[in-house]
Structure 1
Amino acid sequence: MMGVVPDSTDATPAPTRHFYSAETPRSELRLYRGPLVGRSGTRQFEATGSVTLRWNPWPVLQWSGSSKEVDIGIDLANGSLVFEEPRVEVPKEHPFQVASKDGSPAEDIQWEGRGPLGRTVVGDPEAQDLTYATFILANLPAMQFGARLCHETAWYPGRTVLTGAGWKVALDYPWNHQEIEKDLRDNGGHAVTHTGRVEREDGSDFSAGSLQNVLHVLRYVLSLACGRWTSPILSVAYNNATEPTWSEWAPPLVSPWRTSFGLVDGHHPEQLQELFERTAVAWADPLKQEVVRRAIYYLIDANDPHPLELAVSSAQSGLELLAWSELVEDHQIHTAKTYKSLKAHESMRELLTLHSISPMFPPELTELSSVASKLTDLSVGDGPEVLTRMRNGVMHPNRTKPKFSTDEWYDAWCLARHYLQLSILGYLGYQGTHRDPAVKVHFTGQIENVPWNP
């Protein structure tokens, strides 16, 4: 959605530029071309080549190289054959050497190879005087309202700013984001959708270690927000100089584009702001950080409904994790001994009650009453007990236990994600709104209050 032409006094900024760029959102990104250090067994040899980030058929960091040295597969120390594939590294003296073209092939090439490259930190791994960093994101839906950005002679509302725990993060989507998202909806796969910038709110310096920490927070916040994995990619940090100081190359954790079951609505960027702020605060506590990371893993697994039975089990595992953390570790309602005496649905029910989440069936999930009627020996017949009994029937099947239809499993899936999503938000102390998985049909902009803050 483009805006009016700004006048000559308009100070509207352009989108953040990143050190690594591609011709199109789906093009591979060239990170390096130049000398490489090859290793084969105990032997080290000279090579030349490149490092790229490729998207298809899945995201992978890949090196390709060649060498004039002969008999690469022979260990010169003892003359024996090396059966492992040779590997290469980027020399420390050439960390940000990027060329746009491969150039002419060298003569007398004796060896050529390619393969995946693991996580690599280039530049100063112990950098302490960083002032800002940029990164890219793939497969993240755009927020529809935000600060305006300028493209050529027109502006559009393309920047979302997040603050929390002393950090400031700007997420910018391009002016043609609608074309990019349409391509992703039609064809799936991966494409770059945003550039980002992170810095301290007060403008102070920070270290590479603290930068990695806030980028991890951003990974889990954005993945929770859109319901599938997305991460800051190829982060590049600067000090006051114009040349980059530090960068992290790593295989990106990004799910292929699919229908999103995320809790953030694109017309409500305030949801993402509070989510980032609450998560950044929780990250300072090592135990809370571990619980939040694992709970989000369970929720993202649960968002994939293939198959529904496994998705329901993933959500229940996340609920058991949070029940232990809240009832035993945080609020000390139970000791470890008394907690172990609880049945699974009893601990789940106590967790929900702690956050004013109703254990009864939401009105839209009409198939759950049919499920309850098939389970004739229920003691309470509420959501936690029905979910637990359905899972137990899958884990311990026999000929007499009732079977459930796809529609019944679908409603159970919606209920399990409803419980887990709200429990994660309750654990974080979130007070805002969300997109509720128990509401089967969502309209654009439709949101619900959390039950503990109606």
Structure 2
Amino acid sequence: MHEVDGWRITLDVRPDHKEIWPELRRSRVYAMTHVMEISRCDGGDFTSASARRVLTALHTGLSFSLGRWVAPMLPVGFAADGRVVWEEWRVMHCDPARNSSGGWWEPLDPAPLARFLDGLVPAYADPARSEALRLQINYAITAISGEGFVEQRVIIGAAGLEHMMWQRLHMEAGWNRKAYDSLHAHARLRRILQDVSVPTSIDSSQLPALAQFANENQSSDGSSLDGPEALTRVRNSLVHPKESQKKIYGRERVVVDAWLLARHYLTLLILESLGYHGDHRNLAQMGSWQGEVSQTPWA
């Protein structure tokens, strides 16, 4: 149970979850795995529209946290006397069951998810923030997922980063279009990452192929490429190549490493925008031990 923004959210697992889970993974069918109750902390009434905003926040927020689409399905609204006064049979996007989490949240610890919801639910109640945030999280879920071609994940992750750059520099910092366009994409990305203390160097132990690619290519000042510029060059080669793509395909894993870095940057920027501080799984690496987490750099 967690209380946030005047709402009490109670989530409980079905008692036979351990028995049904292996079958869900084997057969790839769908089933209800949890039950949830949403109410006002003061016991007051609320509208279906306000409940739907909370459900949307939980749909995208939990999916972003787990790295796969999960959905609150078939909600039913009750009046004070117990009568059913609202229900919704809409089908919401949901992925088949997977045993491991590919998202930023380590499910062994519920506390980080609660802190994340503290920022997410109020943001979805704010019309000025909710639409941009929903799009950024949708980009991130697709970028985090291990489904589809890796090139698609790089491109969608880069699109999410571009959206984040525009919001932070133009919408929030007040840059006009001329000032925004005066910087290359990698410089804009570097700027917003440095603003929230996210390192822009490339960790060669996590991203060896991209680190080698960065060392073999030079920036305009003659230095080796950092993370934002290496990622931008790989993305540009995929989207509008002006020369042979041998540089990115001639060495194994360069595109894979670019994908890992894109999802890492986008995840951290979304978490910081919601005021989240605390543990997260480092998505710049392909795998990690269960329970292995890092502190957000701005913490």
Query: Under a length normalisation based on structure 2, what TM-score does the superposition of the two structures give?
Result: 0.91
Secondary structure, counterpart of 2:65 in structure 1? helix
Does 2:125 match 1:284?
yes
One-letter code aligned to 1:282: A
Partner of 1:451: 297
Pick from 408, 417, 420 the counterpart of residue 263 of structure 2. 417
Partner of 2:83: 243
Partner of 1:198: 38
Cα separation, partners in 2 of 1:398 and 1:325, compared to 1, 3 Å: closer
Does 2:62 match 1:217?
no
Deviations 1:121-170 (A, max 9, x none): xxxxxxxxxxxxxxxxxxxxxxxxxxxxxxxxxxxxxxxx1221110111
- Quote the Cα distance in structure 1 between the aligned partners of 2:289 and 2:14: 25
Deviations 1:95-136 (A, max 9, x none): xxxxxxxxxxxxxxxxxxxxxxxxxxxxxxxxxxxxxxxxxx
Does 2:279 match 1:437?
no
Pick from 43, 47, 70 the counterpart of residue 230 of structure 1. 70
Partner of 1:358: 199
Does 2:167 match 1:322?
no
Cα separation, partners in 2 of 1:408 and 1:189, compared to 1, 3 Å: farther
Name the structure where helix makes up a greater proportion of residues.
Answer: 2
- Quote the Cα distance in structure 2 between the aligned partners of 1:207 and 1:450: 36
The answer on whether the counterparts of 1:162 and 1:272 sit within 8 Å (CA) in structure 2 is no
Give 1:210 shift. Answer: 1.2
Give 1:243 shift. Answer: 2.8
Structure 1 or 2, whichever has the larger Rg, is 1
Q: Percent identity?
A: 34
**Structure 2 residues without counterparts, runs of 5 or longer:** none
- Quote the Cα distance in structure 1 between the aligned partners of 2:160 and 2:108: 28
Aligned length: 292
Name the structure where strand makes up a greater proportion of residues.
Answer: 1
One-letter code aligned to 1:443: W
Partner of 1:92: none
Give 1:262 shift. Answer: 1.3
Give 1:356 shift. Answer: 0.4
The answer on whether the counterparts of 2:248 and 2:254 sit within 8 Å (CA) in structure 1 is no
Partner of 1:396: 240
- Quote the Cα distance in structure 1 between the aligned partners of 2:219 and 2:177: 28
Give 1:376 shift. Answer: 4.5
Partner of 2:139: 298
Give 1:374 shift. Answer: 4.2
What CA RMSD, in Å, does the superposition of the two structures yield over aligned residues?
1.8
Deviations 1:69-94 (A, max 9, x none): xxxxxxxxxxxxxxxxxxxxxxxxxx
Pick from 210, 213, 229 the counterpart of residue 371 of structure 1. 213
Query: Under a length normalisation based on structure 1, what TM-score does the superposition of the two structures give?
Result: 0.61
**Structure 1 residues without counterparts, runs of 5 or longer:** 1-160
- Quote the Cα distance in structure 2 between the aligned partners of 1:326 and 1:430: 17
Partner of 1:125: none
Give 1:378 shift. Answer: 5.6
- Quote the Cα distance in structure 2 between the aligned partners of 1:353 and 1:340: 19
Give 1:398 shift. Answer: 5.0
Partner of 2:231: 387
The answer on whether the counterparts of 2:28 and 2:96 sit within 8 Å (CA) in structure 1 is yes
